[in-house]
């Protein structure tokens, strides 16, 4: 392999290791976090920049690198020292977890946003101590799907694309793969806003599919302060 199109730092934290590369774990099986190394993601980024300078990471002729699962506080600190700004931040985004503040920050700083888990999963964790159906079973989205003669997934993906966010839904079902490409249709502005505000007062907290607090012992996605 001569080069890669896009090289992402998958998570801005690191596991403590033992015996070479084995992950240290607590008695209940959870990973032990190397806090100093987790806070040194700017050092990792500097190493990634060297790969760009060597021509090992490119995208359409432009040398590029990106990040994944970075919050606004982490991005702000990274941008203070980065010689090459990340071109993309890949994060969880769907109607139940719109991440409006993070998306706005990224777009203001010319960082493209890609949504993983763009359909929200079903069922998914709902805040703390509750579980329930995901967006694909939402009554409002079901009604809109019927109105536009589309699947709920197509409605959700269309809405996300129209926010200027690329999507990477996962499926090995050929029918759904085809449907996931057929997502460019005209949606009424009122319906777009309806999806945009589906979470109402829950707002930025929303419903996250990927939750790190219980597993890691801190909230990697905290939009107020940087953790750990």
Domain residues of the chain, as ranges?
7-216
Question: Per residue of the chain (228 residues), what is the pLDDT tens digit?
Answer: 777 888 899 999 999 998 888 999 999 888 999 999 999 999 999 998 888 888 776 643 345 688 899 999 999 999 999 999 999 999 999 999 999 999 999 999 999 999 999 998 743 444 433 456 788 989 999 999 999 999 999 999 999 999 999 999 988 999 999 999 999 999 999 999 999 998 875 555 677 777 788 788 899 889 999 999
First CA to last CA across the chain, in angstroms? 35
CA atoms within 13 A on the CB side of 136: 12
Task: Give the separation between CA 170 and CA 161, rounded to whole angstroms.
Answer: 16
Confirm if 71 and 99 have CB atoms less than 8 A apart.
no
**What is the model's pTM?**
0.89
The answer as to CATH 3.20.20.100 being correct for domain 7-216 is yes
Task: Give the separation between CA 64 and CA 111, rounded to whole angstroms.
Answer: 11
């Amino acid at each position: 392999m001569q080069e890669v199109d896009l090289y992402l730092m998958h998570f801005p934290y690191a596991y403590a290791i033992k015996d070479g590369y084995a992950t240290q774990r607590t008695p209940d099986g959870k990973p032990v976090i190397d806090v100093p190394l987790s806070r040194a993601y700017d050092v990792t980024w500097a190493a990634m920049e060297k790969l760009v300078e060597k021509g090992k990471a490119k995208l359409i002729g432009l040398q590029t690198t990106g990040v994944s699962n970075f919050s606004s506080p982490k991005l702000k600190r990274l941008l203070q020292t980065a010689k090459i700004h990340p071109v993309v931040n890949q994060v969880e985004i769907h109607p139940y977890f719109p991440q409006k503040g993070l998306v706005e920050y990224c777009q203001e700083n010319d960082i493209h946003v890609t949504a993983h888990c763009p359909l929200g999963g079903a069922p998914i964790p709902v805040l703390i101590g509750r579980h329930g159906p995901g967006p694909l079973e939402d009554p409002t989205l079901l009604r809109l799907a019927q109105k536009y003669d589309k699947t709920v997934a197509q409605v959700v993906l269309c809405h996300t694309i129209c926010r200027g966010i690329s999507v990477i839904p996962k499926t090995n079902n050929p029918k759904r793969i085809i449907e996931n490409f057929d997502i460019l249709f005209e949606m009424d502005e009122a319906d777009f806003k309806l999806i945009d505000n589906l979470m109402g007062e829950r707002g930025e907290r929303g419903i996250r599919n990927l939750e790190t607090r219980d597993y890691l012992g801190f909230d990697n996605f905290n939009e107020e302060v940087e953790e750990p």
